């Protein structure tokens, strides 16, 4: 079983009780998940929730704006683009999603000051 397959973990826990009579509590402890997680996963609908669908669409738009900018825009700029499309989303949410997706905007170049210009105004 892989860590990325929660349905496989839930199926394993369920099968242990059916095949071997092992209580769910024991199987959950062995696998390293809470019993509440197991029961919640079993009751989970087959189709994605509205929230999951919205999150997936939001991720698509963030990726679109990021690639359209050539990988230079960060979360504040992408949030403005999303607001222009009437998305109701915060800068922090966009930043969190970008971090999960491994997207990082390019930092603006540092301003260089003229060393001669600095010395002029000072004694």
Cα(59)–Cα(54) distance, rounded to whole angstroms? 9
pLDDT tens digits, 75-119: 999 999 999 999 999 999 999 999 999 998 877 778 887 666 555
Compute the CA torsion angle 85, 86, 89, 92 (nearest 10 deg). Answer: 40
pTM over 0.85: no
Query: What region, left, alpha or beta, does residue 70 occupy, with left being phi > 0 and alpha being psi -120 to 50 degrees?
Result: left
Inter-residue contact 106 to 72 (CB < 8 Å): yes
Domain ranges of the chain: 6-43, 50-101
Model confidence pLDDT, tens digit, residues 38-86: 888 888 777 888 998 999 999 999 999 999 999 888 999 999 999 999 9
What distance in Å separates the CA atoms of residue 39 and residue 65, rounded to the nearest whole number?
39
Q: Quick count: other Cβ atoms within 10 Å of Cβ 53?
A: 11
């Amino acid at each position: 079983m892989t860590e990325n397959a929660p349905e496989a973990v839930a199926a394993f826990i369920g099968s242990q009780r059916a095949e071997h009579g092992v209580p769910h509590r024991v199987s959950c402890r062995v696998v390293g998940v809470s019993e509440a997680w197991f029961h919640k996963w079993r009751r989970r609908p087959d189709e994605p929730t509205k929230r999951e669908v919205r999150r997936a669409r939001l991720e698509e738009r963030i990726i679109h704006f990021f690639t359209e900018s050539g990988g230079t825009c960060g979360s504040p700029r992408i949030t403005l683009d999303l607001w222009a499309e009437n998305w109701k989303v915060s800068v922090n949410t966009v930043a969190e999603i970008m971090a999960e997706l491994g997207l990082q905007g390019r930092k603006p170049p540092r301003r260089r000051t003229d060393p001669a210009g600095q010395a002029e105004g000072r004694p």
